[in-house]
Amino acid sequence: MTQSMSRRGNCWDNSPMERVFRSLKTEWVPRDGYRSFTEAYQAVTDYLVGYYNQHRPHQYNGGLTPNESELQFWFSHKTVVSFT
């Protein structure tokens, strides 16, 4: 993550991260919370790395997961990343 460096009052800077945290809180975090920091750390990591990026479809990406969308982008832009 990179700290926002735009002008003051630009509410759109944080919207992607706010969306991730909203999804995390509504879809994954139990109402009672976690018993320990380690349990919370493991659960949040599993959500972000395992579910949110690999399995959860995103409407913004046309129903693709973030990983599928990124792969599709790189396959369609091969000439940009080719060094030969």
User: Largest alpha-carbon pair distance within the chain?
Assistant: 55
Assign 58 to helix, strand or coil: strand
Assign 64 to helix, strand or coil: strand
Reported as a single tens digit per residue, the pLDDT across 2-57 is 555 566 666 667 777 787 888 888 888 888 888 999 999 998 888 888 877 777 88
The H or E element spanning position 44 is: helix 37-45
CA distance 74 to 70: 6
The better pLDDT of the pair 79, 65 is held by 65
pTM greater than the 0.75 cutoff? no
Q: How far is CA 40 from each of CA 6, 44, 61, rounded to the nearest angstrom?
A: 32, 6, 28
What local confidence, expressed as pLDDT, does residue 37 receive?
Answer: 94
Structure tokens given for 59:
């409407």
